[in-house]
Structures are given as C-alpha cells and as structure tokens.
Amino acid sequence: MTTSNLHMYVLAAPLLTALFVNMLGRVSRSYVAPLVLGALGFSTLASLGVLSRVLDQGSYSYTVGNWAPPMGIELIIDPLSALMLVLISSVALLASFSALPMVAKEQAGKEHLFFTLYLILIAGLMGLVMTGDAFNLYVLLEITSITTYGLIAMGKGRAPLASFNYIIMGSIGACFYLLGVGYLYILTGSLNMADIAQILPQLGGDAAMATALCFILVGLWIKMALFPLHGWLPNAYSLAPTGAGLLVAPLMTKVTIYLMVRVMFSIFGADYLFVQNPLVQSGMVWLATAAIICASCLALAQRNLKRMLTYIIIAEVGYMVGGVWLANSTGLSGAILHIVNDALMTLCLFLAAAAIAYRVGSLDFDNLQGLYKRMPITMAAFTVGAFSMIGIPPTAGFFSKWYLILGGIEAGHWEYVVALLFSSLINAILFFRIIAIAYFRKEGDHARLQREEAPLIMQGPLILTAATLIVIGLGSGPLVRGIIKLALPVGF
Amino acid sequence: MSYQSSIWPLAAVLISLLGALPILASDRRPNLRESWTILIAFGKVVIVASMLPTVLNGGGFVFTIAEVIPNVPIQLRVDAMGMFFALVASILWLFTSLYSIGYMRALDEHDQTRYFASFAVAISATLGVAFSANLLTLYLFYEMLSLSTYPLVTHHQDAEARTSGRKYLTYILGTSIGFALPAMLITYQLAGTLDFTQGGILAASGADASTLALILVLFIFGFAKAGIMPFHGWLPAAMVAPTPVSSFLHGVAVVKVGVFSILRVIFHIFGPDLLLQVHLGTVITTLASATILIASLVALTQDNLKRRLAYSTIGQLSYMVLGAGMLTAVGMTGGLLHIAMHAFGKITLFFCAGAIYVAAGKKYISQMDGLGKRMPITYLAFFFGSLSIIGMPPFGGFISKWNLATGAIESGQLILLLVLLVSSLLNALYFFPIVYRGFFMPAAEGEPDGIKEAPLFCLIPLSITALCSLGLFFWPGLFLRLARMAVGL
C-alpha cells in the first residue's frame, strides 16, 4: 500500500534535502532556495494527503523498519498528529519564503549551513508529533533542541551567549525528561507509550509513578518555557537570526505542548491525572493562571517589538497548559485549537516583524513611527495578527480563546477565566501601543513618507498567513467538529 | 415570524465594506472617490428599503455566513428591530456622505481617502450590528465598528488626537473585552445558545437572580458605546474627530449601536417577562436616570459646542435605555423610537456645529454671539434640532418622549416621569442660550457683517435633516410601526 507510508515521505523530504543543501549549497548558493522550498512544498502536500487519509480511514500505526513494538519504534498517525504534521510543514514552508532573503542578508555566505540545521529541525519536529515511543521522543526532542541551539548561535552580538543559556536550560529539561522515562522503564520494562499505558494502571499509582510523571512534565515545561521556567526564551528568540525566529517561535513551544498532551493522555491517562489527583489538576490551572498574568505584565515592560512578542509567546503557553489541565473536553479542544491558531498568529507577527526588520533594521518601538504610510501592506497583515492575539472576531484567536474561557467556566476555574480576559486586555494595550506608534508620525516630521515595502517574496506568505487567520477563524466550526473532536482522548 | 433565506442582508452589509476598495483605489482622483461614496450610500439605502415591505408584512430575511461554534453561527437576520435601526443608519449615512464632502473639502483636510474608506467600513459594521441574528455576530460587528472608527477619531494625528484615541479604545475595547465578552460566555454556558429570541433565552436556563443581575450589569457596562455612566468618558474625548464623524458616528451610529446592543439584550436575551419576574428593571432605570440627570447638568457647563452636544448625547442615550428598562410595551416602544427621533435631531445639531466651524471657524459657544444673523439657515436648523431633542411639539422628539412618559405612568414609576421632565427642562437650559446668543446678542467688535453660510454640500444635508425632525412629528408612522412590531405590540 503506497499511501500508508506517505507520512514517512513527509519526514524524509526535509531530512534528506538537508544533506543535499549542505553539499550543493557549497557549490552554489542558488541551489539552496529551490531545494528548501521544493522539499517543504512536497512535505506540505504529502501531509495534507496524510490528514485526508486519516480522516477518511481512521488512525493507523506504523512500525519503523518492521520491528514490532514494544521493541521497535512505533509511529502513531491519528487525526491530532496528522493535523500537527500539516501545521508544521505549512508553517515551515511559509516561514522559509521569508527566511531565505533574511538569511541572505544577515548570514550571507552561510546559507547552506543555516538551512541544513533548519531542515533537520523541521524533520525532528515532524518525528516528534508522530512517535509513539517515549525514548524515541527524547532523541527527537534533542535533535530539535540541538539544531535550535545552532541556529540561535548563528545570530549576531549576544546571540551565542543566549544560545549557551538555552543549552544549559534545555539540557536540564532533557535530563528531567530522560529520568522520568527511566523511571517508567524500571516500572514497566517498556518504552512504547501504548504498552506503558497498558501496564501502568495495574501497578496502582505508587510514588515511583508520580515521580516519573513529575520529572517528565518538568522536563517538558522547561522546553516549552512555562512560567517560571521561561528564563531562557526571551533572549534566545529575540537575539536569534530573524530567519531562525520565523521557524522556531511559531512551532517549538506549540509542539512541546502537543508532546505534553501526548504524554499525559497516551501514557498516564486522564483518570490518573485528573480523577486520582484533583489537587495537582487544579494546582496546574493556578500555575497556568500565574504564567498568563506574569508573562503579560512582563510583556508590558518591553520596548522592542520582538522582545514583546517573545513574552506574549510565554503567556500563550500558559493559555494552552491551562486549557489542557482544565480536565474537560471544551478546554482541551480550546487548547488544541489554540496550538494551531497560536502557531499561525505567531508566524504572522514574526513574518511582519521580519519584513519590518528588512526595511527598517531595528525593531525598537521608537523606529516604528509612520510605518502605516511606509509599509501599508505589511502593517495591515500585522494588524490582523495583532487582532488575533487580542482575540477580536472573526480572527482565529477569538475562537480558541472562546473555547478556553468556556472550558474555564465549565470547570469553575474562574481565576483562569479572569487571567485570559486580563491577558486579552494587556494584549490590546500592547498592540494598540504599537499600532498608535506606527500610525502617527514623528513629531514635527512633515515630509511625505515614501512607500517602501518589503520584497514580494516576504509579503506573499505574510498576506497568506493573515488571510488564513480569518479563514481558520470562520472555519473553526468544521475544524473543531471534523478534526479536533476526533483528536480528543477516549473518555472526553 | 417566518424568515426566508436571502443574500440581501449580506449585500446590505457588504456593499460599503467592499466599497472601501474602489475608494482606496481612487486615492488620487477625489471626484471619482466621492462618486463611489455617494453611489455606495445610495445603493445601501435602496437595498435596505427593498427589504422593508417584507418586514412590514411580518416577514424577514436570514443569511448564515459561517457555522463557528455549536448552536452559534455567524448569521445575519432582518427583523423589525434591525430594520428600524438599519433604516435610520443608512438614510443618515447618505446625508453624512454629502455633508462630509462639503466639510472635508472646505477645510482641505489631509488623508481624505483613509477617511472615506474608514467611514465605509464603519457603516458596514453598523448595519452588521443591526442585522445580527445572535449575540456573537453582534459582538463581531461591534468590535469591527470600534476598530474602524479609530482612524476617524485620530484623524488629525496630533498629540490631542493621540490621547483621545487612546482613551476611546481603552473605554470601548476595555469594556467589551472585560465585561461584554464574559457576560456573553456565561450566557452561552447557561442557555446553550445566543440566538436573539422573542421573549429571551435566559428564562429557561433556571439561573438565579443574582447571576442574572451580574450578567445584566456586565452587558450594560460592557456595551460602553451607549455611554452609561461611569463609562461615558470616551464620548467627549472623541469629539476631536472631524465634525462629520462626530455627527454621524458619535451622534448616530456608534452610540446607538451601544444602545441597540443593550436593547437587544434586554428584549431578546433576557426578555421583559424574566426581568419583571426578578425585579431587575430598576437596575436599568436607576443607572439610566442617574446618567440622564448628571449628563444634562454637565452639559450646562460646557463652552465647547461639540462637547456640549456630546454630553447632551450621553443624556439622551440613557432615555432609550430608560424606556427599555420600564419593561412595558409603550415604554420600550418609546425607547426604541427615541433612537430614530434623537438621531435626526442630533445629527442636525452636529451638522450645524460643523457648518459654524467651516464658515466662521468657531468652536466655543461664548464666541458665537450674533452669529445667527450671518448664518440664518444654519441657526434655524439648529433651533429645529434642539426643539426636537427637548421634546417640543411639533417635532419628532415629542413622539418618543410622549411614549416614554406614558410608559413611566403605565409601569407605575412616577419618579421616572419626574426624571424625564427635569431632564427636558435641563435640555432647554443648555440649548436655548446658544440660539439666543446667535440671534439676539450683538456680535463682537471686528466681526464681519453679511450672510456667509457654509458650502451647499453642508447646508443642504443639515436643512433636510432639520426638516425631517419636523416631518417625523406629522408622519411618524413607519418608524412607530417598526418599533411596535419590534416590541411585539
């Protein structure tokens, strides 16, 4: 059957192309762009094929190299992982259109190195969302992390230092995760998620199991930058090369949240997490509440567009973690929908920021004056992304926030509801501050500003992403009904 | 009531939204650009009017745009109440478009293309609110209106505009996200739907009185465009906008969208019966009465003509909310009717304020001595408009105030009648001195003599709206009938 291993092509395309980019890119820089775009374009199409097949014929699992689980590595292709594949490949494709000219400008001469890491990172992310093996997940997590360290370190100025900071934190996170998996292996003698999930309930929730859960979650929280474990993220993401930020900012935290959902429901199960340990469950919602409020307030203090966006990313992590731990289907649907929406709106804002950086250079607030006149199309798309972050209908952000808040009301977690509304208001302040700066001109500057847009190759994906935000918003009914409801774990 | 599926509600909303594109495209050809504006305004009136006969016959139209949340689609629906508001808004937009052309050209304003395009989006949002079939759709267009008016409020792009723009958004967006959105979500959680239904959707939910009171107050303050105190501060601040914006948006569209939203919630989310049952009518009438009296008193102290009009608007808006809060059919009719009557009166007053600024360059009432002799038509129109707002016969305002007074008596709350009477007196006190100064006080030294009116593009619309205020006393039939249908009489 040819379609049943279509998902392997999705993953193999960027992985193999990484090799060619490195080799051929040395010969001539002109090979890089067609190779990258070709590979990711292929991945996007193939992932759409995978999604339609899953929706058509149901989930399936795939054993890599025909080694039977629990020994061999098992890949799980269900609606949720197929949706994530589509998300990763399309976001990566859109980001690379804009990343190509930015890298040529900022990292001239190193394009082949940059895009080698870039493609391996994408392949790693794709592997992460498919894998059904707890140890394999660790390996892929490290592949994505190490490539990200490299990408960030290619930035200018203090970027290598930020990358080093990230390496330390990231490695601690990876250790925690690995320790947790070790405990699980000692308990069950297995590394296959489905296998572990079958054995664990028979053991009765003892302290070793709780320790395993704790280690795994803390490891993932460091990787997803859940407040107060977020310290590495603002510097790493804002000092990274613009091209790297375009890929890493929309995807990394979102994929890690997906992993948390995976580990929680595919290994430990809703019953153990929510019913047997209600205190942990409500404690997590409170932690998410604190994350949202603190990160939003920290965002207020920033005077640079990109740094502000990084703190918003941290606040959004709180949104999704809280939604998952609300322990009801509305909240979980909201969290999954928000993974998609947040990836797209972060992409939209980072694409706009890249376009502005391309023309203006610095992203400090003071340099953004008069931008609506200079770059009207970029700023229009930026405005759509900003509205989505604030949660103004009919942009996508409104609808995921709707489910999240509704889930909070359903669960009776009013603190989380208040935090979401508070964060929306802060986002409104943050973005309208920028909109006002860009809308008004410098005092006493009466010269007619010239229009100078970013190149078309950067504008195209930006406009497309902004339009997608509205389309996904209007289509959120079918999206939730048709895909996300199927993706919820059994019992929800 | 039966609704037939039709594309016309969508067309009525979209015509000006899509119309913003040719307006933007003809940036360098002002005459073509203004032709588009007028063409779209005419088209809008025609589309809305074409749906009128069906609505009067007890029918209606419906169009579903997208299914977004279980049981809550983004849906447009034309019923009597929506038709009432859409008719007022689209007719007055036509006059405002003509007036804008005269005003903006006479003052040689900058960025006129952005101005006309934002205006077109704003009127689309207004019709969207009028034709919303449920609370979510209403919220969508409500926010769209807030955002599209930001460039209009800050049109001058100076420090004052910046401050006012910030204040405008803080109030409008802050309350809608902070109050209206959670109220909407709690309503959805309780009722499982947000559809506007005759008799309300919350009655069946079995929520207790304190929850209902909380939701009600969140909604009333959440729709801060209605200017219920203490969330009224944005309206005087928004007066920095060019006068056509103040006249149409802050006399008619934006503020009445706020009132309309509150009325929708009272009529079709709670339902008058439920509110009577849990005695929440007094919450509404108390908030409205306080706003009416305080705003009228503050208006007395304002020397800037537009700010005086703004405070007058705040007071008058609460008349409409007050009428709805009486929870009797007559009072509710009066409240709804006052949307139309006040709209024609107040837009005339703002048009006159703009005409005075264009022709004489004056903003402050204390400088307007003797101006009536130079601008007799404008001042006569101003007189007409103020009489209508005060509620004197033979002007339209009398009809709505009559209904409001009857409603107050019927509901047995004579204190509300007293509020209405005191407020009318205060209205007269802050309007008549303006007219008196204009006609009877001698002009200051050095002021030119002779008649000098504003351009015809300004003068004709304000004369027509002034005459409409007069005509609505004799022929209120259409609006009265729609208002009665809306409250189920």
Q: pLDDT for A298-336, tens place per residue?
A: 999 998 899 999 999 999 999 999 999 998 889 999 999
Identify the band that residue A398 occupies on the pLDDT scale cut at 50, 70 and 90.
very high
> pLDDT value at position A68?
79
pLDDT of residue B456: 81
Closest Cα of chain A to B63: distance in Å? 15
- pLDDT tier, B204 (very low <50, low <70, confident <90, very high otherwise): confident
Give percent of chain B above pLDDT 90: 29
* Pairing mode of beta strands B61-69, B72-78: antiparallel
- Per the CB < 8 A criterion, the answer to whether A274 and A491 are in contact is no
Give B413 to chain A, closest Cα distance, Å.
Answer: 38
Strand partners, A76: A61
B110 touching chain A per CB within 8 A? no
DSSP state of B445: T
Mean pLDDT of A401-421: 92
CB spacing of A474 vs B189 below 8 angstroms: no
Q: Report the residue from B70, B143, B157 with minimal CB separation from A440.
A: B157
% of chain A beyond a pLDDT of 70: 97
Single out the residue of B70, B81, B248, B105 nearest to residue A406, CA to CA: B70
C-alpha span between A35 and A123 (Å, rounded)? 15
End-to-end CA distance of chain B: 13
Minimal C-alpha gap between A226 and chain B (Å): 25
Place of tokens 């001239």: A108
- Nearest C-alpha neighbor of A491 from the set A205, A280, A273: A273
Q: Is B340 exposed, middle or buried (CB count within 10 Å of its CB: 0-12, 13-18, 19+)?
A: buried
Two tokens, residue A112: 């082949």
Residue pair B349/B313 in contact (Cβ under 8 Å)? The answer is no
HSE toward the beta carbon, residue B23, CA cutoff 13 A: 26
Residues in chain A with CB shorter than 8 Å from the CB of B139 are: 393
B291 located within any domain: yes
The beta-carbon contacts of B229-235 under 8 Å, at least 24 apart in sequence, are: B229/B287, B229/B290, B229/B291, B229/B294, B229/B295, B229/B314, B231/B171, B231/B175, B232/B291, B232/B295, B232/B314, B233/B167, B233/B171, B234/B167, B234/B168, B234/B170, B234/B171, B234/B172, B235/B310, B235/B313, B235/B314
User: Which of chain B's residues have a Cβ under 8 Å away from the Cβ of A417?
Assistant: 182, 185
Q: Is the pLDDT of residue A16 over 90?
A: yes
Sheet with B4-5: strands ordered across: B4-5, B61-69, B72-78
Over residues A10-26, mean pLDDT: 91
pLDDT at B179: 93
Is there a contact between A151 and A120 (Cβ–Cβ < 8 Å)?
A: no
Return the pLDDT at A442.
Answer: 61
- Which residues form the domain of B396? 280-489
| Mean pLDDT along residues A365-376 | 82
The per-residue pLDDT for A148 is 94
Q: Which long-range contacts (CB under 8 A, 24 or more apart) does A140-149 make?
A: A141/A174, A141/A177, A141/A223, A141/A259, A142/A174, A144/A252, A144/A255, A145/A170, A145/A174, A145/A223, A147/A117, A147/A118, A147/A120, A147/A121, A148/A121, A148/A244, A148/A248, A148/A252
Q: What's the confidence (pLDDT) of residue A449?
A: 63
A473–chain B Cβ distance below 8 A for any pair? yes
> Per residue in B312-335, pLDDT tens?
999 999 999 999 998 888 888 999
B5 φ, ψ (degrees, to nearest 5): -70, 135
With a cut of 50, say whether residue A1 has pLDDT above it: no
DSSP bridge pairs for A63: A74
- Assess if residue B263 is contained within a domain: no
Residue B82 within any structural domain of the chain: no
pLDDT of A441 > 80? The answer is: no
Under a CB-based contact definition with an 8 Å cutoff, are residues B196 and B133 in contact? Answer: yes
The arithmetic mean of pLDDT across residues B362-368, rounded, is 85
Neighbouring C-beta atoms of residue A65, cutoff 10 Å: 6
Give the minimum alpha-carbon distance from B116 to chain A in angstroms, rounded to a whole number.
Answer: 17
Q: Which pair of structure tokens corresponds to residue A117? A: 């890491």
Q: Minimal Cα–Cα distance from B65 to chain A, Å?
A: 8
Condensed to tens digits (0 to 9), the pLDDT of residues A85-141 reads 999 999 999 999 999 998 888 888 888 899 999 999 999 999 999 998 999 999 999
The token pair that represents B29 in the structure block:
């050809």
Whether the ipTM is more than 0.95: the answer is no
Q: Which residues is B195 bridged to in the sheet?
A: B134
In a domain, B290, yes or no: yes
Question: Could you tell me which residue, A247 or A65, shows the higher pLDDT?
Answer: A247
Give the SS3 label for residue B197: coil
CA distance B51 to A346: 43
The DSSP secondary-structure symbol of B133 reads S
Mean pLDDT of A59-78: 83
Question: Looking at beta carbons, which residues of chain A come within 8 Å of B67?
Answer: 477-478
How does DSSP classify residue B328? S
Q: Residue A444 — very low, low, confident or very high, per pLDDT cuts 50/70/90? A: low
* From A425, A441, A476, residue closest to B157, measured CB to CB: A441
On whether residue B271 sits in a domain, the answer given is: no
Residue A155 sits at the chain B interface (C-beta within 8 Å) = no
Beta-bridged to residue B304, according to DSSP, are B364
Bridge partner residues of A77 (DSSP): A60
Question: Does residue B174 lie in a domain region?
Answer: no
Going by their DSSP bridges, the two strands B61-69 and B4-5 should be labelled as parallel
Please check whether residue B192 touches A, CB under 8 A: no
Q: Which residues contact B383 (CB under 8 A, 6 or more apart)?
A: B435
Best of B10, B185, B190, B194 to disrupt the A interface by mutation (most A CBs within 10 Å)? B185
Mutation target for B interface from A388, A404, A439, A446: give the one with most B CBs within 10 A.
A439
Asked if A172 has any chain B CB less than 8 Å from its own CB, the reply is: no
Judge contact between A268 and A180, C-beta under 8 A.
Answer: no
Position A93 scores a pLDDT of 94
How many angstroms away from the CA of A475 is the closest CA of chain B? 6
By C-alpha distance, the chain A residue nearest B141 is: A393
* Residue A72 dihedral angles phi and psi, to the nearest 5°: -75, 170
Determine the pLDDT at residue B113. 84
The rounded mean pLDDT for chain B is: 88
* Cβ-based burial of B59 (10 A; exposed 0-12, middle 13-18, buried ≥19): middle
**B411 closest CA partner among B228, B292, B275:** B275
Give how many domains chain B has, as a whole number.
1
Q: Which residues of A383-399 are buried (b: 16+ CB within 10 A; e: fewer)?
A: bbbbbbbbbbbbbbbbb
Pair A75, A62: CB distance under 8 Å: yes
pLDDT of A447 strictly over 80:
no
pLDDT of residue A2: 44
B122 inside domain: no
List Cα–Cα distances, B392 to A291, B401, B421, in angstroms: 59, 9, 12
Q: Angle CA(A351)–CA(A449)–CA(A376) in degrees, nearest 5?
A: 35
CB A433 within 8 A of CB A302: no
Q: B77 - beta bridge partners?
A: B62
- The b/e string for B452-481 (b: 16+ C-beta within 10 A; e otherwise) is ebbbebbbebbbbbbebbbebbeebeebbe
Cross-chain Cβ contact A409/B186 below 8 Å? yes
Tokens of A431: 């973005």
Is B34 within the bounds of a domain? no
Can you give the pLDDT at residue B31? 85
